[in-house]
Amino acid sequence: MLDVKYIRDNLETVEERLGTRGEAVNLSRFREFDLQRRGLLQEAEKLKALRNAVSEEISRIKDKSQARDRIAEMREVSQKVKVLDEQLKVVEEALEGCLLTIPNIPHETTPIGKAETDNVEIRKWGEIPQFAFAAKPHYEIGESLGILDFERGARITGARFTLCKDAGARMERALINFMLDLHTEQHKYVEMLPPFMVNRESMTGTGQLPKFEEDLFRLEGVDYFLIPTAEVPVTNIHRGEILKGSELPLCYTAYTPCFRKEAGSYGKDTRGYIRQHQFNKVELVKFARPEESYRELDLLLADAEKVLQLLQLPYRVVELCTGDLGFSAAKTYDIEVWLPSQNTYREISSCSNFEDFQARRASIRFRENEKAKPEFVHTLNGSGLAVGRTVVAILENYQQADGSVVIPEALRPYMGGMEKIG
């Protein structure tokens, strides 16, 4: 959510900068609701002030018969207040609804662009493997090794669900532990294991709602949703709180499964393990001081990259352009891992600074010192990493001519010393 006062005072700038996201933005509705609200508010508050003053007078009059006129007068005032308050409520809801659907303003360093193709490559890491044979896609490798079972996954649930078996299941678990250990022991994040379903307020706080309800799995009977990412429960840990400046930045890491409807991605990545309705992810979340948030974003990105470096998987980092930026983000770096079968890099992590956009929605603030005014924190998060796609990358990059897959050295301690599958 953007600052109402900022929009009010910089309407054209805001429209223009939001326009770089690719959708025309018209804030005239906002302006109208804002004006209406303040008009009604002033009127109502004036009457309330009068009522409060006269009520106090009445309280001092011993003989209530002498207050009869004033009581009658105030009865009328209260009626008017009631009407105004009702109108106000309608306008405020409209204004709120308006605000909740306005995306974040891209950071000034976010490259202007229309789509994915305008993203900017920042750096590449690692050697792209050269195979003396035709590199197989991960789903063929996984199926022939008996560690990924798409058919039975679909039988159990449906399309885009996969059964991990034997060393495949073990590798998922190993990667989760490997990543969590790295981030908690080397990068000093605090581990969290949050609920995997959240309420509507939490989804609104991080920006999934109200606009993207069709992407979420919703439970029946209660207003709970399956989380599409750990960002939601972990960021909402501090919803409604005022943190101490001295404890910032707060750095949390969490493993959770993620559930996404993938509405609108029909036909994309239909085969294999790339795009699932349920996948595992280790997430990194930070709450930082505004002036430190971009430095923290660089650190967070480096922490995520470290996973791929240790696993010796080639990747590149791209900076998303304004047209490709998520709703809540001001700036995003994607980490893309090399997939030999596709002869291209595919997203495996997305690291974003949301600045105060989520903090304002979720009311997460901090006080620099005892007497300081509360300020909104900046929230950040990034995948560290998507576990399923890491499995995909390992299978493809570490595949051997005989169909076996070598296990990255860093992962072996987590797989009982296993050196290869098959």
Question: Rule CB under 7 A: which of 150-169 touch RNA?
Answer: none
From 51, 200, 316, 412, residue interacting with RNA (rule: CB under 7 A): 51
Residue 408 structure tokens:
């990255």
46 binds RNA (CB under 7 A): yes
The nearest distance, CB 180 to RNA, in angstroms, is 22
From 12, 28, 59, 343, residue interacting with RNA (rule: CB under 7 A): 59
65 tagged catalytic = no
**Whole-angstrom distance, CA of residue 105 vs CA of residue 14:** 7
Question: Rule CB under 7 A: which of 68-97 touch RNA?
Answer: 71, 74-75, 77-78, 82, 89
Catalytic residue (one of 43, 347, 368, 375): 347
The nearest distance, CB 32 to RNA, in angstroms, is 14
For the window 232-271, what string marks contact with RNA as x by the rule CB under 7 A?
A: ----------x-----------------------------
From 22, 25, 36, 58, residue interacting with RNA (rule: CB under 7 A): 58
**Whole-angstrom distance, CA of residue 58 vs CA of residue 141:** 85
Instruction: Tell me the Ramachandran region of residue 398: left when phi exceeds 0, alpha when psi lies from -120 to 50, beta otherwise.
Output: alpha
Catalytic residue (one of 350, 355, 360, 396): 350
Query: Closer CB to RNA, residue 71 or residue 169?
Result: 71
Catalytic residue (one of 275, 316, 367, 412): 275
350 tagged catalytic = yes
Question: Rule CB under 7 A: which of 356-415 touch RNA?
Answer: 365, 367, 370-371, 373-374
260 tagged catalytic = yes
347 tagged catalytic = yes
The nearest distance, CB 1 to RNA, in angstroms, is 11
17 tagged catalytic = no
Only segment of 57-65, 115-123, 132-140, 266-274 that touches RNA (CB under 7 A): 57-65
Q: How many residues bind RNA (CB under 7 A)?
A: 33
**Whole-angstrom distance, CA of residue 152 vs CA of residue 171:** 19
Just list the catalytic residues: 260, 275, 347, 350, 389
Interface ranges with RNA (CB under 7 A)? 4-5, 38, 41-42, 44-46, 48-49, 51-56, 58-59, 64, 71, 74-75, 77-78, 82, 89, 242, 365, 367, 370-371, 373-374
